[in-house]
Chain A
Amino acid sequence: MTLWIFLALMAAGAGAIVLYALRPGALTMPEGNADLMVYKDQLTALDNELESGRIEASEADSARIEISRRLLAAQSEADRNPLSRPKAKSSAARAVAIATAGMLFVLVAYIQNGNPDLPGVPFETRNTDNPGEETVPQLLARVESHLLDTPEDGRGWDLIAPIYMRMNRFADAAEAFANAARLLGPSGMRMAGYGEAVAGINAGVIVQEARDALVEAIELDPTLLRPRFLLTIALEQDGKLAEARDAWRGLLSENPEEGPWRDVLLGRIESLEARIGDDPRPSQAQVEAAQDMSPADRREMVETMVAQLAARLETDGDDLEGWLRLARSYAVLQQFDAARGAVEAARGLFSDDDRAMARLADVARTLGLEE
């Protein structure tokens, strides 16, 4: 509410300025006489300079001739175009309309983009809503100084490690997790935390050291989801997109209940599908290998991959993306009959799915399989 009072005051002030700007009787300098004034100023300045001896009389004369010439030109220009002194024809109603329109624009834009219901949260006021409780910085300082004195207290490291993690102090977090694991023995949580912290140090890249820790965490506690999540991201980072997608699907089938997890997983799968679906994209390693191949070998490699895809669809035909990819691949290999065959086979399988049929028709048209 206080916010709205402030905003209303500001809008009122702004509106007042607009009304003032469009006030009646605003005087203006006579138009066009400005040139004459400048030249007259110059003549005065010249006289002053001559008087104080800064320029020679002959120089002053020639300057005066030049200025006078310009003055005359400006004067005759002014005479030729006599000033029709522009009139102020604004009315008060127009000023009010402009001010109202301006403030309405601001209000609408603010309601659309602003966050009036989010309170400001200055650092000092953090946690004051729970008086008596320590603020996080106070807690952190206490544990830190405690650990400085007794660095062999594993529980202290256990306590502080996740706090460092939340503050994005990954190196400190990794050190704390490692200390806790050393002093209290490795646990699923500690190893998972260590792995994640190491990934954080490397700007999110899940390096080998992090992977080892995450694998160990799963071995210690198979119920942990977070390390499996991170290892699947590691698969994505390696470019093993299909494997990653299958791993996401595995996680999804094990956690059927609704929740934020589920949306994240579905989003991941969808984006992977899109990346895989564009074309039968070979893995990074295959691409690198293909660069050294002869064109014949390369074609053979592509044909093998396409054949594998065709074989898989033969047994498991319930994959529209797969069929579309197969048709595209055949078209790339110039095997248009085979491409047509793939589209027809898919039409047989998806005949009662309108969207699928529409997409098939689309692809067939873009690939030039139909007239």
Chain B
Amino acid sequence: MIAEIGHFATLLALAFALMQGSLPIWGAYKGDTRLMESARAFAIGQFLFVSFAFACLVAVYVRSDFSVLNVWQNSHSAKPLIFKITGSWGNHEGSMLLWVVILAFFGALVALFGNNLPARLRANALGVQGWISIAFLFFILATSNPFARLSPVPFDGQDLNPILQDISLAIHPPLLYAGYVGFSMAFSFAIAALIEGKIDAAWARWVRPWTLIAWMFLTAGISMGSWWAYYELGWGGWWFWDPVENASFMPWLAGTALLHSALVMERRAALKVWTILLAILTFSLSLLGTFLVRSGVLTSVHAFAVDAERGVFILAIMAVFIGGALALFAWRAPLLRQGGLFAPVSREGALVLNNLFLATAAGTVLIGTLYPLVLEALTGEKISVGAPFFNKTFGPTMIPLLMLVPFGPMMAWKRGDLLGTSQRLMVVAALALVTAGAVYWSFNGGPVLAALGVGLAVWLIGGAIFEILWRVKFMRAPVAESWRRAGGLPRSSWGTMTAHAGIGVVLLGIVSATAWRTEVITTMNPGETLTVAGNDITFEGVSPRQGPNYSEDVGQFTVRRDGLVVARLEPAKRFYSVRRQPTTEAGIKSFIGGDLYVVLGDPTGDGSYVVRIYDNPLVTLIWIGTYIMVLGGAVSLSDRRFRIGVPRRRRVVANPAPAE
């Protein structure tokens, strides 16, 4: 019965979406305030019913009701409760429903808290949100209904793919979706502005926080996915340029660009048309990401053709939303008034440069991800575009961008002073170069690029901190004065500093884990000891263990440093009996200097085991850094006031800047 209630609730949500997508926009066109206002209650109603439907889905999972097809396909009565719950979105149908839940949640937030939005803009934006909901709910009900039933009822389920039975992979999709869907707000506002043919001043005020929220979720989601790949796949790597990863990385790059251009728009009312286009493109890439991963295209182009109904549906949704939005943009964008002017060397100019590099990087990743798919679809030839392509194209795009990061926040709005900024940053540059030299020297002429990479990381972190020091006039004013100024700095400045420093921390982790990693693959007999990067690792033996829905062989390793036991690691090989699928559980110990990572391989037959041991120096900084970036976003978000970039005036006050 719960499944049927869930099905009915999904249909009710679709009904609300249909009303939300039509009546308010019609009202905005006709000037009918009552219809315009109805958007808010519709959005809230849609959220109520779609989240109720999702609660029903979780309930049938928890009760292991195998009369529901989706539960039978993805669950098992012996599965631990937590994975029964997370399994409800660990599959195509459930995850699509979760997508709509998040979409409706954001829509409801606009409905509840959008009091200061112009009524027309709010009605149109919620209407566009309604269209997205309609497309997805219709897709779910027509081709991927999570409430489809089975009769006769099978005895037990087929269990969830074991590699998904993991807590961080359970959190990963909701975070990622919150990111993707958050960008839908920027998209809806962009389309609403295009429909009306004007951008209100309140537009930027709304779009930037939404973009920031989406960006934070997406950053955390990607980071979580990368961490999962690191400890679960057992290869010791943290990013593989896998198409699934790229699918989430492209919207992140575009979203980061949007974040910065929305900043210009909020503070200086410039770059309006570009920001609108970027909002459309970012959400388009989010749609692409969702569908690439969820349609099965990535595992094989042919999987797409097998389920033709879904494939065609997906293509149609993408064509309508991306094509329609771009067509609307081409038609209506010329109506939008251009905003504030600025000199090439200025804060705005630096942010434009940032956008150019990020857009190029996103384009590069897009080509590298889609080219093999297109080629396979057209010629049947299978090629793999892997790390070498991305290292050669993505890397060179990012390095100049990262070098420019510290300049941006130091520049004045409207008119910047490149020479002065460079002179101020000399201290940081010197610090970075000295660090690079010291690293090079201490590793006896270690890899030059790695030393320079560390230097770049120091440049980023130092540059971020220096910006704050400079703003509070540290050392140039009495301590009390600096303290007072620090208290008065807007939180968005602190957020910028934190996020930019976070990139430096990530870079430090990437460089050191790539350049100074140790990898040992060998066979070990029980009792044998091996020394890797200063750790004496003793293989104590292997013992079997029984889990709730798996059995495992656990290897016992004792790690000593100078005779003292510093860690006991238990890497394991698990076997999930229902799916007949093995998984690898790495044994990881994080020290301050880096991770010791042990993987138990196959027995060789004579009592010894294949063992892979990695020492990944500072690798944890990659994830710590991304969370510092997220923290920066949160700090910036807490600064709720609408700020204006104070323009630097020309010296000749008698000749003011041209009117806008």
B7 touches A114 (CB 8 A): yes
Q: How far is the CA of A32 from the CA of B40 in the complex (A)?
A: 19
* Bound Cα distance from A87 to B30, whole angstroms: 10
Q: Name which of A120-128, A314-322, A327-335, A351-359 contacts chain B.
A: A120-128
Contact B34 A26 (CB under 8 A): yes
Pick from B2, B33, B644, B648: contact of A67, CB under 8 Å? B644
The reply to whether B117 and A34 contact each other, CB–CB distance below 8 Å, is: yes
Distance from A18 Cβ to chain B, minimum over Cβ atoms (Å): 7
Q: Would B649 and A62 count as touching, CB distance under 8 A?
A: yes
Q: Does A28 contact B (CB under 8 A)?
A: yes
Chain A: which residue is nearest B115 at the CB level?
A: A29
B573 to chain A, nearest CB (A): 16
Closest chain A residue to B7 by CB distance? Answer: A114
User: 0/1 per residue, B8-50, Cβ < 8 Å to A?
Assistant: 1101101110110001000000111111111011101100110
Task: Kindly report which residue of chain A lies nearest to residue B649, judged by CB atoms.
Answer: A62
Residue of A nearest to B77 (CB): A123
Q: Are B38 and A114 in contact (CB under 8 A)?
A: no
Residues of chain B in range 94-152 having any CB-CB distance to chain A below 8 Å: 115-121, 141, 145, 149, 151
Indicate if B578 sits at the interface (CB-CB under 8 A): yes
Chain B residue numbers with a CB within 8 Å of A14 are: 12, 15-16, 45, 49
A169 within 8 A of partner (CB):
yes
Determine if B41 and A10 form an interchain contact, defined as CB atoms under 8 angstroms apart: no
Binds A, one of B61-69, B563-571, B614-622: B61-69
Query: Which residues 71-98 of A sit at the B interface, judged by CB distance below 8 A?
Result: 73-74, 84, 86-90, 98
A259→B45 CA distance, assembly (Å) = 50
Inter-chain contact B19/A110, CB cutoff 8 Å: no
Instruction: Tell me which residues across on chain B come within 8 A of A286, comparing CB atoms.
Output: none
* Set A41, A89, A123: member contacting B642, Cβ < 8 A: A41
Could you give, for residues 97-141 of chain A, a 1 whenever the CB lies within 8 Å of some chain B CB and a 0 otherwise?
Answer: 010001101100110011110111111101000000000110000
B202 x A38 contact (CB < 8 A): yes
Q: A167–B156 contact, CB under 8 A?
A: yes
| CB pair B577 A169 closer than 8 Å | yes
Q: Are B646 and A88 in contact (CB under 8 A)?
A: no
B336: CB under 8 A from chain A? no
Give every chain B residue within 8 A of A6 (Cβ-Cβ): 1, 5
Within 8 A of B (CB), among A44-89: 45-46, 52-55, 58-60, 62-63, 65-67, 69-70, 73-74, 84, 86-89
B residues in contact with A236, CB < 8 Å: none
* Residue numbers in A under 8 Å from B37 (CB-CB): 21, 26-28
| Distance (whole angstroms) from the CB of A113 to the closest CB of chain B | 7
The answer to whether the Cβ of A201 comes within 8 Å of any Cβ in the partner chain is: yes
Instruction: Find out whether the CB atom of A60 lies under 8 angstroms from the CB atom of B646.
Output: yes
Alpha-carbon distance A20/B39, docked complex (angstroms): 11
A52 vs B484: C-alpha distance when bound (angstroms): 10
- Compute how far the CA of A14 lies from the CA of B46 in the bound complex, rounded to whole angstroms: 9
Q: How far is the CB of B355 from chain A (nearest CB, A)?
A: 23
* Interface hub of B35, B115, B660 (most chain A Cβ within 10 A): B35
CB of B200 closer than 8 Å to a CB of A: yes
With contact pairs A86-B33, A120-B3, A124-B63 given, residues A10 and B643 touching in the complex (Cβ less than 8 Å): no
B580 close to A (CB within 8 Å): yes
Top-7 shortest CB links A-B: A21-B41, A86-B31, A123-B64, A122-B63, A34-B118, A88-B34, A21-B38
Q: List 28 A-B contacts (CB under 8 A).
A: A3-B1, A3-B4, A7-B8, A14-B16, A17-B16, A17-B44, A18-B45, A21-B40, A21-B41, A26-B38, A27-B37, A34-B118, A34-B121, A37-B116, A38-B200, A45-B644, A54-B489, A60-B646, A62-B649, A74-B201, A86-B30, A88-B32, A106-B8, A109-B14, A113-B141, A120-B1, A120-B4, A120-B67
Interface residues of B (CB under 8 A from A): 1-5, 7-9, 11-12, 14-16, 18-19, 23, 30-38, 40-42, 44-45, 48-49, 60, 63-67, 77, 115-121, 141, 145, 149, 151, 153, 155-156, 158, 200-202, 205, 269, 340, 484-485, 488-490, 577-578, 580, 641-644, 646-649, 656, 659-660
**Which residues of A does B touch, CB under 8 Å?**
2-3, 6-7, 10-11, 14, 17-18, 20-24, 26-29, 31-32, 34-35, 37-39, 41-42, 45-46, 52-55, 58-60, 62-63, 65-67, 69-70, 73-74, 84, 86-90, 98, 102-103, 105-106, 109-110, 113-116, 118-124, 126, 136-137, 166-172, 201
